[in-house]
Structure 1
Amino acid sequence: MFDPKISLSVTTDGDPLYAKARKDGIETVWERHEAQQPQCGFCDMGLSCRICVMGPCRVDPFGEGPQTGVCGADADIIVARNLCRMIAAGAASHSDHGRDLVEVLAGVAEGSAIGYKIRDEAKLKRVAAEYGITTDGKEVLTIAGELADAMMEDYGMRRKAIQLVDRAPQKRRAVWEKFNLTPRGIDRETSEMMHRTHMGVDNNWVTLLLQGMRNALSDGWGGSMIATEVSDILFGVPAPRPTTVNAGVLKADQVNIVVHGHNPVVSEMVSLACQSKKLLDLAAKKGAKGINLVGVCCTGNELLMRRGIAMAGNHLMTELILSTGAVDMMIVDYQCIMPSIGKVASCYHTKMISTSDKAQFPQMEHIEFHPGNAEKKAAEVVRTAVENFTNRKGTPFIPVEPQAAVGGFSVETILGALGGTPEPLIDAIKAGKIRGAVGIVGCNNPKIKHDYGHVTLTRRLIENDILVVDTGCVSVATAKAGFKLPEAAAMAGPGLQEICKALGIPPVLHMGSCVDNVRILVLVSALADALGVDISDLPVAGSAPEWYSEKAVTIGTYFVASGVTTHLGPMPPITGSMNVVKLLTEGLGDVVGATFAVEPDPEKAAIFLRQTIEDKRKALGLDSRNVA
């Protein structure tokens, strides 16, 4: 509980669900953020170090106190080590997600993953061919087993390079070879990064950061890419589907089940259980008109992409969704799940279920899902949710109507809409109807008014004829704002509007969950190959206006290392070393042809991104506009 009279510096003022939560005395992420003020300046600048127990140490940025830690590490070393450990943690998170899916693929091949199957045999064979696996005359399950084994090899140290880097343009791979950035193994690069940052190993801040880039690439072109490809093989390649978003997708007269996290292995089985006639009959017996499955965060994005399942909200909305009193059960797996939500749910009737052997939470019942029992466990927890329907406390508070949207634009879908080739998109870019494209990705952060950065930046880009593709939590924000309908083309500039109307697509394309950022890499690689240029030559950019997590640091790093200049809203904890700041925002241009840029104001960020795109157009010999 908290004092509802407290004044917050950053709020979601005007949100009726936030007002409801405050009235109920629910402590949300915004109250906890306020309680942390002022936050530690040393940590904010990356100048604190606790990697050994001679410390903890901190370096004085004003030069009046200690300039090194106990071991002698200066600001450059401390800041670089801290940043690299964030990259390693982020790479481990998404890549381990990929490993989980490969294990399911192997289980399908062995017959031990009950309820799972190969849904896209054509994609299975295409990916297998990339790994040098012959498919002619082989049973599908044999191919699946061989592919799972080959992908597991990418996690080790026996190869000179992970397989899927071959998808990058040759010119980009040459850059990686020149600077020794080619990832050799997914786990290997993370392990080496942690080794290098141990006290007494790598104390050259430049080589530390270069290994950080190689570590990030091992995720972007390795673990995350494997996660996306195996998800498509097991659950189907996404295609555009109508859906709805925001808290209005909850139904007062139905059993509401929310899935939250990142792993579709759990949510796919839950979605099947929600369609069971036996459980639907039980729901009717309990007085409910159906079972309503909705998503939060990236597990929801996975279901939206493939099933059209509605999205109740993004990361920071989780506590507010619970405060409706309409959620009969929330089922979580891992990543971006605040340990606070079990406590919030206890104020209502909601049952909380954690499912991963890697992730347990306070005040949740833990029911582990594994490939061999997921189908059975899903049916059990959905039954429990149905039985909980009659335990609701009062009338649910659902103050908004759902917003219609379209999601599910895989690379295959986009190229298919263009006739199977990127040439029509290239022609539109050459003609200036589309000035370029920006991938907006990332999370929400309580330091920024909820969704403000995402929505404002997106609006400014599309009205200037820049196509936006998005993933993760930002995709929920832009869908709530109405950008993900074909009619939203009216909000775009005249050139982009013309293209969207011709193709019947929105000006903002939803490409999936945060591991699906790799779809953007595949798409820009196809554009670069078609033009015979490097990714760094394309009129494209990336942005994470409200990022917060270690995964976001890794994502941004593998985008920059792939040649995509990337904007960040919040400043990373690096300002304690101006050498590190200068390398990341300037020096990397001479290494990988792209840099980071930090700008918390989305209006100014839009100008920067537009100028970046116009500069790329000019360098390619295309027409360019003045940006103001």
Structure 2
Amino acid sequence: MAEEKEKKVKVLNFRDMSTCEATIQMLEIAAKDGVETAFSRAADMKACPIGADSACCKHCFMGPCRLNPKDPYSKVGVCGATIDTIAGRNFARMVASGCAAHTDHGMSMLDVFREVVNGRIKDYQIKDEEKLRDVAASVGIEVVGRATMEVAKELYEELERTYTQVEGEIPFVSRVPAKTLETWRKHGIVPRGSMREIMEIMHRTHMGVDQDYENIIKQCSRTALADGWGGSMVATEISDILFGTPKPLVAGVNMGYLKEDHVNIIVHGHEPNLFESMITSVNDPALIEKAKAAGAEGIQLLGMCCSGAEVLGRHGVPHAGNFMSTEAIIATGAVDAMAVDVQCIMQALSKLSECYGTKFFTTNPRAKIDGATHIEFHEHTPSECTNKVVEMAIERFKNRPARIVIPQRRDLGIHGFSHEYVNYMLGGTFRASYTPLNDNIINGRIRGVAGVVGCTNPRVKHDYVHVELVKELIKNNVLVVQTGCSQISLAKAGLMKPDAAVLAGDGLREVCETVGMPPVLSLGSCVDNSRILIACAEMVKIGGLGDSIADLPVAGAAPEYMSEKAISIGHYFVASGVYTIFGVTFPSIEGTKFHKLLFEGLEEMGMGKWDFAVDPHDMAHKMIAHIDKKREALGIMGERERKLFSMEDRRA
């Protein structure tokens, strides 16, 4: 820490940077300790305005070429590339990177599934046979009268096409509403296989290849759809099959779930395999005895970011905080070990852990970090890694720093809503159906549905935009569903409890009180945005709200996004037919042809469209205006007269 103190880190007003009390408390302590965090680095480093507007190109070595965002058509790049070509290429590569992240995650899950099915992995097994059969049936596999493993082997072979197929259509297009699929086919954007689409988009954006922004966006759409209806959907479905489909349970969020008298271990990343095995290790009686012999009362396991969001909803493991809290929690001094795998892991965590004596471990061969101890995780022998992490955490507990500061903030919420549970929640065991949801949208009690998802970003006030946006939406009778870091923001604000319905409009509050649900439903990690796609498809299937996803009174938002994955997610929702609005910044220049295509042209082609706003209330009312536009088109605008149903009506 002495080396860090020499930098004389400026103590900033962190209340201007976050609304999370625990995070603010620890950021102030870190700054006094002379330790940098992403918040202080963001304050010291001005974002490049040319890069933020995607007005620069470094795809060859005649440049980099920088265009003027204030007069984007005043010049072109050395090769003659216009602002539309440059912005299109940059956007496409963001989609490719984001799609690759989710696709590789899904491929990893499918690899594990294959090894489980073939009996070569013994530590995991199929926990949800009903989900296995439902997924298999959804892609046309016969399941009646067949053995579980026989179905599973055929499902593996079918889903492998999601990645490796070079022609045809990916398996999960079987779940896409017919009219939506017709639009995709019309514009030639149905994904073939993820590897094929990512490869082609990288080729097209190489210098001197695709130089038509409309053609580039066509491939963007096909690649993004390979993420949402391919890699991400496979990751979610296989995780449910192997580890259990989430069902709502009460679980805690925030740093107060650290325990001073326990060995504290945090798992941070995105793939659930590491976390599932860590749960087994921390409950190993021999390791618990080792912890007690070291003077601890026990072992406390917490999650962060998306793998934490998965086990929050699947097992009720407490969640310590979202992306922008990952550094702050190390500053407590109470974290004995942090084990990470892939995605959204700041390199700064390695140095920060050294400052506070936390054992910091990388576990995935794809993601090593300079200065971190690498203990490789192998699904065939998972305990070799996870037991070692626990043992090293126990050793650190014996030598903790004298000062431990644990913010005493604990927040509870209901987590773990899945498509399957929402179906059951609305209709029960024998009449599981989205019909009550559609009916309450049609009768006006629920205005529409909004997906508020994504990251947190130090360029805006941490958690604030998420919370204010969602409060405004539910106040206006918009039901909100959430994934990823966003849901942790909302959980800390108390919006994931049934009593949060008091903040909702009269109609949504009535529905929430009748069903006994919160006005904000948590669906899992960022890869679980595929659950929202499935829900949209089901709303179309039930009827009364149009024939395609583009007809639905729904909207999406990523108000504090920061990663390329978010761009891919946003674009697969847009290509699927959903109005999608982002905050912070947007990688295009208003007034250019490329920007107009994203913000207007795609909707004219029968898809959704992009939008942008910084203020959460502006964002909310843009979403509400879109929802109202769709209600108007469906002929369901305005309140409907309530009807007392007769027994004959009820039978019908």
Cα pair 1:261 1:336 within 8 Å, conserved: yes
User: What do residues 505-529 of structure 1 show as CA deviations (whole Å, max 9, x unaligned)?
Assistant: 1110000000000100100110011
Equivalent position SS for 1:330: strand
Cα pair 1:260 1:295 within 8 Å, conserved: yes
Residue 168 of structure 1, CA deviation: 1.1
In the other structure, the counterpart of 2:424 is 416
In the other structure, the counterpart of 1:612 is 626
In the other structure, the counterpart of 2:506 is 494
Residue 125 of structure 1, CA deviation: 1.7
1:32 and 2:44 aligned: no
Equivalent position SS for 2:450: strand
1:245 and 2:253 aligned: yes
In the other structure, the counterpart of 2:538 is 526
Worse-matched range after superposition: 83-92 or 358-367: 358-367
Residue 54 of structure 1, CA deviation: 2.1
Residue 577 of structure 1, CA deviation: 6.7
Q: What residue identity is the alignment partner of 2:38?
A: V
Aligned counterpart for 2:60 among listed residues 43, 52, 57: 52
In the other structure, the counterpart of 1:115 is 123
Q: What residue identity is the alignment partner of 1:27?
A: E
Query: How many Å separate the matches in 1 of 2:459 and 2:110?
Result: 36
Query: How many Å separate the matches in 2 of 1:219 and 1:61?
Result: 31
Equivalent position SS for 1:164: helix
In the other structure, the counterpart of 1:177 is 185
Residue 620 of structure 1, CA deviation: 1.0
Equivalent position SS for 2:279: helix
Residues 296-307 of structure 1 mapped to structure 2, 5 A cutoff: 296-307=304-315
Cα pair 2:11 2:28 within 8 Å, conserved: no
Query: How many Å separate the matches in 1 of 2:167 and 2:244?
Result: 29
Equivalent position SS for 1:347: helix
1:575 and 2:583 aligned: no
Residue 64 of structure 1, CA deviation: 9.8
In the other structure, the counterpart of 1:20 is 29
Cα pair 1:108 1:141 within 8 Å, conserved: no
TM norm structure 2: 0.93
In the other structure, the counterpart of 1:155 is 163
Query: How many Å separate the matches in 1 of 2:279 and 2:337?
Result: 13
In the other structure, the counterpart of 2:391 is 383
Q: What residue identity is the alignment partner of 1:443?
A: C
1:543 and 2:557 aligned: yes
RMSD: 1.7
Query: How many Å separate the matches in 2 of 1:63 and 1:439?
Result: 35
Residues 159-558 of structure 1 mapped to structure 2, 5 A cutoff: 159-419=167-427, 420-531=432-543, 532-558=546-572
Equivalent position SS for 1:342: helix
User: What do residues 293-344 of structure 1 show as CA deviations (whole Å, max 9, x unaligned)?
Assistant: 1111001011111101111000010000100111010010000000000101
User: What do residues 574-605 of structure 1 show as CA deviations (whole Å, max 9, x unaligned)?
Assistant: 11771111111111111133211100000111
Cα pair 1:542 1:566 within 8 Å, conserved: yes
Change (3 A) 1:307 1:64: closer
Residue 572 of structure 1, CA deviation: 1.8
For this pair of structures, how many residues does the alignment match? 624
Query: How many Å separate the matches in 2 of 1:517 and 1:205?
Result: 27
Worse-matched range after superposition: 113-122 or 322-331: 113-122
Query: How many Å separate the matches in 2 of 1:266 and 1:585?
Result: 40
1:3 and 2:8 aligned: yes
Query: How many Å separate the matches in 1 of 2:244 and 2:321?
Result: 23
Cα pair 1:242 1:308 within 8 Å, conserved: yes
Cα pair 1:404 1:482 within 8 Å, conserved: yes
Residue 432 of structure 1, CA deviation: 1.3
Query: How many Å separate the matches in 2 of 1:214 and 1:80?
Result: 14
Equivalent position SS for 2:360: strand
1:584 and 2:589 aligned: no
User: What do residues 71-111 of structure 1 show as CA deviations (whole Å, max 9, x unaligned)?
Assistant: 22111111110010000000000011000000000110122
Query: How many Å separate the matches in 2 of 1:4 and 1:198?
Result: 41
TM norm structure 1: 0.97
Cα pair 1:79 1:577 within 8 Å, conserved: no
Query: How many Å separate the matches in 2 of 1:103 and 1:29?
Result: 35
Change (3 A) 1:178 1:456: same
Residue 131 of structure 1, CA deviation: 3.4
Residue 123 of structure 1, CA deviation: 1.2
Cα pair 1:58 1:66 within 8 Å, conserved: no
Residue 35 of structure 1, CA deviation: 2.1
Change (3 A) 1:64 1:466: closer
Structure 2, unpaired ranges of 5+: 640-652
Residue 17 of structure 1, CA deviation: 1.6
Query: How many Å separate the matches in 2 of 1:56 and 1:310?
Result: 46
User: What do residues 2-38 of structure 1 show as CA deviations (whole Å, max 9, x unaligned)?
Assistant: 434355796237621221111222200011112222x
Structure 1, unpaired ranges of 5+: none
User: What do residues 517-576 of structure 1 show as CA deviations (whole Å, max 9, x unaligned)?
Assistant: 010010011001111521111111000000011000000000011111011112222117
Equivalent position SS for 1:385: helix
Cα pair 1:172 1:562 within 8 Å, conserved: yes
Query: How many Å separate the matches in 2 of 1:187 and 1:30?
Result: 36
User: What do residues 438-481 of structure 1 show as CA deviations (whole Å, max 9, x unaligned)?
Assistant: 00010001110000110000111111111110000000000000
Residue 376 of structure 1, CA deviation: 2.8
User: What do residues 469-514 of structure 1 show as CA deviations (whole Å, max 9, x unaligned)?
Assistant: 0000000000000001111111211111111111111110000000
Query: How many Å separate the matches in 2 of 1:151 and 1:388?
Result: 43
Residue 223 of structure 1, CA deviation: 0.4
Cα pair 1:47 1:576 within 8 Å, conserved: no
Query: How many Å separate the matches in 2 of 1:426 and 1:64?
Result: 45
Worse-matched range after superposition: 608-617 or 448-457: 608-617
Q: Percent identity?
A: 44
Cα pair 1:76 1:580 within 8 Å, conserved: yes
Query: How many Å separate the matches in 1 of 2:306 and 2:409?
Result: 22
Residue 368 of structure 1, CA deviation: 1.0
Aligned counterpart for 2:635 among listed residues 609, 612, 621: 621
Residue 44 of structure 1, CA deviation: 1.5
Q: What residue identity is the alignment partner of 1:442?
A: G
Q: What residue identity is the alignment partner of 1:119?
A: K
Equivalent position SS for 2:164: coil
Cα pair 1:357 1:368 within 8 Å, conserved: yes
Query: How many Å separate the matches in 2 of 1:133 and 1:537?
Result: 30
Residue 66 of structure 1, CA deviation: 7.3
Cα pair 1:541 1:566 within 8 Å, conserved: yes
Q: What residue identity is the alignment partner of 2:457?
A: N
Cα pair 2:96 2:198 within 8 Å, conserved: yes
Q: What residue identity is the alignment partner of 2:33?
A: D
Change (3 A) 1:114 1:395: farther
Query: How many Å separate the matches in 2 of 1:339 and 1:585?
Result: 35
